A and B are shown apart, each in its own frame.
Chain A
Amino acid sequence: MNIVVCVKQVPDTATERKLRSDDKTLDREAADGVVNELDEYAVEEALKLKEAHGGEVTVLTMGPGKATETIRKVLAMGADKAVHLSDDALHGSDALSTSYAMAQALKKIGFDLVVLGSESTDARTGVLAAMLAERLGVPQLTLANKVEVNGSAIAVQRLTDYGYDKVEASLPAVVSVVEKINEPRYPSFKGIMAAKKKPVETLGVADAEISADQVGLANAWSEVVDFAVAPPRAAGTVVKDEGDGGAKIAEFLASKKFV
């Protein structure tokens, strides 16, 4: 099975994250880049599927040169090869144009299954899996809590607020995963060494047959108009229970229109 796992380098959530003042895009220099956490679960699931069914795992990432760190990490976990979609023309792409560019790259790579995390910790749109599936004309199985492949059939448990849905489709398909699905492995020291020798192909927009007029900040359908630093959290209200604690809490909740 030819599995492509899409990963994104995001700013470390443990550090201070900022937008750039000039073009209001993410300031990638301001924070350490790490693998988007949910994508690590996607990588783990891809590796497990490969171990169970054979085949190959290819990493696809779109991002600036710095994203090679993320590629190395995923290769160290056990992926076989990588494709790095990187071009200045892609800077500032929104979700729609990112999905277009990624879909073009995926068409070029070829796949039986595309696996990705259900959202990124920076943009948090959570729409890429669905958009990719539409653009590629294949089924989408999102928010997967469990994935089973049997020949060309794929079945997932799709996590919902009330339990899960069983969703079935046939390959090729796009799957997005949630963190309950598995426990991502650590890279091993041998894996880190081996990763240095694994092939990484870099694609520019022309290589992936991406029209430059459909990507980048200038062609984005969504625009960051303004942004502000989140205000510091205000001090909480302390309710002292003098026999009427319950009533006071109910009053508070009502005042906030929670009840």
Chain B
Amino acid sequence: MTVDRLLPTPEAADLIELTREIADRELASRVDEHERAETYPEGLFTLLGDAGLLGLPYPEELGGGGQPYEVYLQVIEELAARWAAVAVACSVHTLACFPVAEYGTARQRERWLPDMLAGRLVGGYSLSEPQAGSDAGALRCKAEKVEGGYRISGNKAWITHGGIADFYALFARTAEGGRGISCFLAPGAADGLTFGRPEEKMGLHAVPTTTAHWEGAFLEDDRLLGAEGQGLQIAFSALDSGRLGIAACATGLAQAALDEAVAYAKERETFGKKIIDHQGLGFLLADMAAGVDVARATYLDAARRRDAGLPYSRQASVAKLVATDAAMKVTTDAVQVFGGYGYTREFRVERYMREAKIMQIFEGTNQIQRLVISRHLAR
């Protein structure tokens, strides 16, 4: 069912219409095949970039779409309703552009952003390490200062688009301690950079997640973003925005599960009537719809605060927490609506349930979101 959206401008309405056309024709038609075969959709990100969908929340002067988060996130939600893995990769790309756009010098922005925001260069985000996930400050990957640049050595983990992306927002240690982490714009191909084989994941099969191994690869000075030691601050401010992207992905996924469940419940009959007309099932669907609406309302509230220049870190964490928990519940209930059929791979709801789980984990587990929220309360 088409979501009836409240949009701030006619151009936003045009953008959503364009997104739906592309999502229906290019994503919905290919998703089942690629998720099943675990194959990467070659050419798809170029197509999304050509359409202008990979640089939406960045200023037009830098080659972006000049759209508020309120609109950009609804585009992500529309993509996620057709193909969660692609929407997540788009959100991560936007996240990966953030350090250059917000902390890069004018020269760095001019050099890289036009290609990044047009999707000619696709980005990944490389903060986590095998031993440093939630505790990002525990990362060990080293950036050693040498003549003209830095030598990177260490292991990174859980990189969306790993091995495929053209660049990575890389966080590595230039000194000891919490203020010893720095942010780099690393190329996807460098001598001394290799990637592990893709993780065998529960879901999001079409876009690989890998480790990265740095063995003394050289990055020139110009690839340091912000000041030395500013890395963790950059990482966390990027993640405030990134979390909103994940909340939008979760909302789209939940919306898709709701739509499939409602359509099935209007068709399937038991005891002489449609199952949606049995109150037990009707109420379950009503709760699912309420969950989707709450998820959307919550991320949009945080987005509107961001767009208005207000603090939104706490609201972003609430949105990520609420939307991803809603997605887990709604997709699980969608399987319930389908009964035994829902447990088979013949129906998309089975995949949705698997895809929802990771959303409670990545870009800050929901426990970390609670930590952020409670620290705001304790201030």
Contacts and interface: CB of A to CB of B under 8 A. Distances in A.
A141 to B, nearest CB: 30
B21 A186 contact: yes
A173 B41 CA distance: 40
A9 to B, nearest CB: 16
A8 to B, nearest CB: 19
Nearest to B15: A189
A192 B14 contact: yes
A186 B11 contact: no
A256 interface: no
Specify the main secondary structure of chain A where it touches its partner: helix
A190 B52 CA distance: 7
Contacts of A192: 11, 14-15, 18
Contacts of A110: none
Contacts of B52: 188-191
A55 interface: no
A114 to B, nearest CB: 27
A245 interface: no
A189 B47 CA distance: 12
A30 B348 CA distance: 33
A127 B56 CA distance: 43
A193 B11 contact: yes
B22 interface: yes
Nearest to B60: A190
B15 A188 contact: no
A188 B11 contact: no
Contacts of A137: none
Given A192-B14, A192-B15, A193-B11, A186 B56 contact: no
B326 interface: no
A249 B122 CA distance: 55
A193 B13 CA distance: 12
A176 to B, nearest CB: 24
Interface string B92-124: 000000000000000000000000000000000
A187 interface: yes
Contacts of B22: 186
Contacts of B14: 189, 192
Interface in A180-224: 185-193
Interface string A110-154: 000000000000000000000000000000000000000000000
B53 interface: yes
Interface string B57-75: 0000000010000000000
Interface in B37-51: 47, 50-51
A99 B175 CA distance: 76
A140 to B, nearest CB: 32
Contacts of B50: 185-186, 188
B15 A186 contact: no
Nearest to A195: B14
A185, A188, A189: residue with the most chain B Cβ atoms closer than 10 Å:
A189
Contacts of B21: 186
A40 to B, nearest CB: 12
A200 to B, nearest CB: 16
B230 to A, nearest CB: 32
Nearest to A196: B11
Contacts of A188: 50-52
A188 B118 CA distance: 11
A188 B56 CA distance: 12
A190 B53 CA distance: 10
A185 B26 CA distance: 12
B79 to A, nearest CB: 14
A189 B66 CA distance: 11
Nearest to A191: B52
A187 B11 CA distance: 13
Contacts of A190: 52, 65
Nearest to B75: A189
B312 to A, nearest CB: 24
Contact of B53 (A185, A189, A193): A189
A188 B65 CA distance: 10
Contacts of A189: 14-15, 18, 51-53, 56, 65
Nearest to A187: B18
A191 B11 CA distance: 11
Nearest to B50: A188
A184 B22 CA distance: 12
16 contacts: A186-B18, A186-B22, A186-B47, A186-B51, A187-B18, A189-B15, A189-B51, A189-B52, A189-B53, A189-B56, A189-B65, A190-B52, A190-B65, A192-B11, A192-B14, A192-B15
Given A187-B18, A190-B65, 12 more contacts: A186-B18, A186-B21, A186-B47, A186-B50, A188-B50, A188-B52, A189-B51, A189-B53, A189-B56, A190-B52, A191-B52, A193-B11
Closest A-B pairs by Cβ, 7 of them: A189-B52, A188-B52, A192-B14, A188-B51, A190-B52, A186-B51, A189-B15
